[in-house]
Amino acid sequence: MAYWRLHYHLVWATYKRESMIDRERERVIYGTLYQKAKELGLIIHAIGNVEDHLHTVVSIPPKIATADCVRHLKGASSHAVNQTLKPECEFKWQEGYGAISIGERSLPNVIAYASHQKQHHRNGTEIAFYERMAEEDDGPTIQPA
């Protein structure tokens, strides 16, 4: 087994940034993300969300491309919400995502940030850099492409 320490802060949004993540969907999404991570050999350090987007801090082994990891996580979680909860309107994620690589020293701070999303958004203490999902995105108030 190769030695690796590849940590990422990933963020992605609900389709059209609609407020679709309620407590019930959150429970299904989190459970699915942890299950899919186990299948892929990922380490999830933290997950946090508000109604229209989700953050996760994850270590991804070098055998998996970041884009493939996100595709698996988004696909599995949206599928689980739709199959488990059978919502009136289909739950889906918006195209794209934000990905930032994290060094070992920054990892605890980024884990804390992702874990406390609801508080950051409630208190207006978001860090725009960690909220970006597109190149032109300045943070949570800008709609990703």
Q: What CATH number corresponds to the domain at position 21?
A: 3.30.70.1290
The answer to whether position 142 is within a domain reads no
Q: Which pLDDT does position 144 carry in this prediction? A: 38
> What does the mean pLDDT of the chain come to?
91
Percent of residues, the chain, with pLDDT higher than 70: 92
- Read off the pTM: 0.88
Q: What is the pLDDT of residue 69?
A: 97
Give which of 30, 65, 27, 25 is closest to 44, Cα–Cα: 30
Is 17 among the domain residues?
Answer: yes
The verdict on residue 11 lying in a domain is: yes
Adjacent-strand bridge partners of 100: 9
Report if residue 89 sits inside a domain: yes
pLDDT tens, residue by residue, 96-109? 999 999 999 999 99
Domain presence at residue 100: yes
Give the pLDDT confidence score for residue 135 in this predicted structure: 65
For residue 67, is it within any domain? yes
**Does 16 map to a domain?**
yes
pLDDT tens-digit map of 79-130: 999 999 998 889 999 999 999 999 999 999 999 999 999 998 888 887 787 8
Q: Into how many domains does the chain fold?
A: 1
**Residue 139, in any domain of the structure:** no
Domain that holds residue 118: 7-131
